[in-house]
Amino acid sequence: MADIVDTRTHAAAALERACEALSRGVPVAIPTETVYGLAADATNPLAITRIYEMKGRPRFNPLICHMTDLAMAEKHAVFDPVSRALAQAFWPGPLTLVLPIRPESAIHPLARAGLDTVGIRVPAGFASRLLEAFDRPLAAPSANTSGRISPTTARHVADDFTDKLELVLDGGPATVGLESTILKVEGDTIRLLRPGGLDVAEIERVTGRRVQRNEKAGAAIEAPGMLASHYAPVAPVRLNASDVKPGEVLIRFGGKPLPGEDTAALVLDLSPAGNLAEAAANLFGYMKHADAIGAGSIAFSPIPAIGLGEAINDRLQRAAAPRS
């Protein structure tokens, strides 16, 4: 089993042990405000290979590179004015920008899956202290087996990887609970590659520009991680339920009871008060909880598709998609 070190009570030890492992090319699980990441030195090809192996992740799917700040990011990627304004407005935070890589960047092509672009994010909290101490970009996908739900607690990570992982830094439950919003600026257009923990309306408000969503489903996959079936619990998922079948787990929203609740195996409410940020923070943990009690199926009541509800519904659709 992986060692779990609490960053809130043992910050110095956590930094020291993480830097030591990362320097050996060993991936370490780290807390971020979105979800836990499986981090490795982005300049070390062996370390990056270990990430792909541990996750069982297809190698055509590039990793997000985490940086201390915009200054570090500018050394590795070319920023257009709109991307720079986005970075200044939303970093540190749940935003990833896809940008052209600089030829002199030491980020290894394996981390980028050979693309001439790189996904960059500046995380908040303990991850930022670790990046400062390590002083190199960290490639970090979500710390879960490929296709499964992203972890929002250190326990989720340790249970998923068991003895494949040396060290998990525990920063408590992730506050956002959904992966970062991924954007790519193309000329005058801001394109949404993945809805996530940063609300699109907020991006439009700050930039005064419209964010363009992918109109054609099934068009060439732009963020290669966005395969149909993804973020899936073990139990099959039923969406927009208006009632609960006997023995099902119900995950509902807004404190509204559904017919059949009395025969459900378990009833959870993402946010009894109807708060979408709270719902986002609870979503993955609740699906894991349903799996943990051996749910035969999970029914979700409808969740409004506004604000963070867009990203929540995106993840639910992937959780419910046919499995291969």
Binding site for Mg ion (CB under 5 A): 142
Contact with ligand TXA (CB under 6 A): which of 18, 21, 63, 198?
Answer: 63
In contact, 39 and 48? CB cutoff 8 Å: no
Q: How far apart are the first and last CA of the chain?
A: 30
Contact with ligand TXA (CB under 6 A): which of 18, 82, 140, 198?
Answer: 140
Smallest gap, in angstroms, from Cβ of residue 92 to ligand TXA? 11
Residue 61 binding target from Mg ion, ligand TXA, none, CB below 5 to 8 Å by type: ligand TXA
Q: How many angstroms separate the CA atoms of 25 and 40, rounded? A: 7
Q: What residue has token string 């986005």? A: 86
Instruction: Please return the burial class of 176, using the count of CB atoms within 10 Å of its CB with bins 0-12, 13-18 and 19+.
Output: buried
229 counts as binding ligand TXA under rule CB under 6 A: no
Q: How many angstroms separate the CA atoms of 275 and 61, rounded? A: 33
Q: What residue has token string 């363009």? A: 212
| String marking each residue 146-185 x if it binds ligand TXA according to CB under 6 A | ---------------------------------xx-x---
Q: How many angstroms separate the CA atoms of 50 and 307, rounded? A: 36
Nearer to Mg ion, 96 or 142 (CB): 142
61 counts as binding ligand TXA under rule CB under 6 A: yes
Contact with ligand TXA (CB under 6 A): which of 32, 128, 152, 271?
Answer: 32
Instruction: Give the three-class secondary structure for 68.
Output: coil
19 counts as binding ligand TXA under rule CB under 6 A: no
Smallest gap, in angstroms, from Cβ of residue 269 to ligand TXA? 25
Nearer to ligand TXA, 26 or 267 (CB): 26
DSSP run (H or E) holding 237 = strand 237-238
Instruction: Please return the burial class of 307, using the count of CB atoms within 10 Å of its CB with bins 0-12, 13-18 and 19+.
Output: middle
117 counts as binding ligand TXA under rule CB under 6 A: yes
Nearer to Mg ion, 192 or 264 (CB): 192
96 counts as binding ligand TXA under rule CB under 6 A: yes
Nearer to ligand TXA, 78 or 267 (CB): 78
If we measure between CA atoms, which residue out of 319, 297, 300, 302 comes closest to residue 248? Answer: 297
Contact with ligand TXA (CB under 6 A): which of 62, 137, 177, 195?
Answer: 62
Smallest gap, in angstroms, from Cβ of residue 48 to Mg ion? 15
If we measure between CA atoms, which residue out of 170, 165, 56, 40 comes closest to residue 111? Answer: 40
Angle at 54 between CA 50 and CA 56, to 5 degrees: 115
Q: Which stretch binds ligand TXA (CB under 6 A): 17-25, 46-54, 58-66, 202-210?
A: 58-66
| CB-closest chain residue to Mg ion | 142
In contact, 140 and 39? CB cutoff 8 Å: yes
Nearer to ligand TXA, 241 or 285 (CB): 285
Site residues for ligand TXA per CB under 6 A:
32, 34-35, 37, 61-64, 96, 98, 112, 115, 117-119, 121, 140-142, 179-180, 182, 193-194, 223-226
